[in-house]
Amino acid sequence: MKKVFIDGESGTTGLQVRERLINHPNIEIISIDPAKKRDEAEKRRLMKEADVTVLCLPDDAAKESVKLAKEEGCRILDASSVHRVAEGWSYGLAELDVTQRDKIANAQFVSNPGCYPTGVILLLKPLIEAGLLPANGDYAINAISGYSGGGNALIDRYEKEPNAPIFGVYGLNFAHKHLPELEKWSGMAKKPIFIPSVGNFRQGMLTFVPVELGEGVSAQQLHAKLAEVYGKEAFISVNDYNVIADDAAPFLTPHDIDNSNRVELSVFGSADGQSCLLAAKFDNLGKGASGAAVQNLNIMLGFDEKLAVEL
Ligand SMILES: NC(=O)C1=CN([C@@H]2O[C@H](COP(=O)(O)OP(=O)(O)OC[C@H]3O[C@@H](n4cnc5c(N)ncnc54)[C@H](OP(=O)(O)O)[C@@H]3O)[C@@H](O)[C@H]2O)C=CC1
Ligand SMILES: CC(=O)N[C@@H](CCC(=O)OP(=O)(O)O)C(=O)O
């Protein structure tokens, strides 16, 4: 049995990591006394006892816990947004490329990706790398998240206040905290425009990127590349290629994927062959947070990466 300490076990992400790990055949959770959850000495003791500590904390608290882990030489999987482009950290997106699982397996410090970047990077990285989309293109990314993406504070706002908005666009300062990892790990040569939004539903996420196709490039080629790259991935599927010709088209929704670690990618091409929409659908708390965390823990500890990732 390996031991895992979840620092921040009672938060939105921590609870879901815990719920998954309870069903893990090879991992025992070691928990902090709730009355001591901010006690440094107690954290140190548990970090030393654990094979890996998962940080499910706000950014500032995550920085403090990493300081302790560095002093004690402990392994960390950080779900916060602090270390996603930091030196000395491995990016915890197993499907990033063929080298990434080894990097995660051998790392002392692994950073779980942000929820939105997970979908965008899976869509754009292989296409930019293959030269089907330009690295220096002007990308505009749109996304919608369930309100659990904002943690306990936003959950309370939606579930306890009667007048929470049905839909809201945010990130309107064009400086969302996910921009650095979006740019770095997608292989974009410059900062994209990123416009996230939140809806009055608990879980589920869509990230979508509209692109104009270059000379000699078709939407079918983009679709074929994604299908080839992710063909053997357990958690990534690519829907059949779509040309939506009329108004009777089905909606693309962020629903019906709650608690899963799966990501569904879609490519929609325009009938004139000039435009294309790339879309990723997943659970912001699943592959966007806790599912990915358990997948990463499995890789870090040498287990089958599929163990206990689905709720
Ligand atoms: N929600 C999501 O979809 C995603 C979240 N994340 C990241 O995961 C991390 C956690 O987010 P989320 O679960 O949503 O946040 P929550 O606000 O739901 O939970 C945070 C938890 O951390 C606890 N906490 C705060 N400070 C400390 C501390 N110093 N020591 C121990 N515990 C502490 C809080 O306790 P208390 O309530 O008592 O303050 C709370 O239980 C964040 O960094 C977030 O960016 C990543 C991907 C997706
Ligand atoms: C709806 C909502 O508020 N979403 C969060 C992102 C959730 C996520 O991915 O978390 P990280 O904090 O780990 O990056 C936001 O936009 O800040």
Here the ipTM equals 0.95
Shortest-distance ligand to the CA of residue 57: 1
pLDDT of residue 251: 81
**Of ligand 1's atoms, which has the minimum distance to the CA of residue 149?**
3
* Active-site annotation holds for 74: no
- Please list the helix, strand and coil fractions of the chain in percent, rounded to the nearest 5, in that order: 35, 20, 45
pTM of the entire structure? 0.96
Tell me the domain boundaries of the chain: 2-113+288-301, 115-286
Residue 275 to residue 108: CA distance in whole angstroms: 43
Sign of the Cα pseudo-torsion (111, 115, 117, 121, in order): positive
**Of ligand 1's atoms, which has the minimum distance to the CA of residue 55?**
9
pLDDT of residue 245: 61
Judged against a pLDDT cut of 90, whether residue 276 lies above it is answered with yes
> Between residues 240 and 65, which one has the greater pLDDT?
65
Query: Tokens in use for 37?
Result: 């959850």
- Residues 21-42 pLDDT 10s: 999 999 999 999 999 999 999 9
Give the residue from 115, 272, 255 showing the smallest Cα distance to 178: 115
- Residues 66-90 pLDDT 10s: 999 999 999 999 999 999 999 999 9
Q: Which CATH class is domain 2-113+288-301?
A: alpha beta
- Residues 183-232 pLDDT 10s: 999 999 999 999 999 999 999 999 999 999 989 999 999 999 999 999 99
Shortest-distance ligand to the CA of residue 54: 1
| Mean pLDDT calculated for residue range 269-273 | 91
Host H or E run for residue 187: none
Domain 2-113+288-301 matches domain 115-286 at the CATH topology level: no
Whether domain 115-286 has CATH 1.10.238.10: no
| Protein residues with CB under 6 Å of any ligand 1 atom | 7-8, 10-14, 37-38, 56-59, 61-62, 79-81, 114-115, 148-149, 151-152, 284-285, 288-289
Judged against a pLDDT cut of 80, whether residue 169 lies above it is answered with yes
| pLDDT band, residue 242 (cuts 50/70/90) | confident
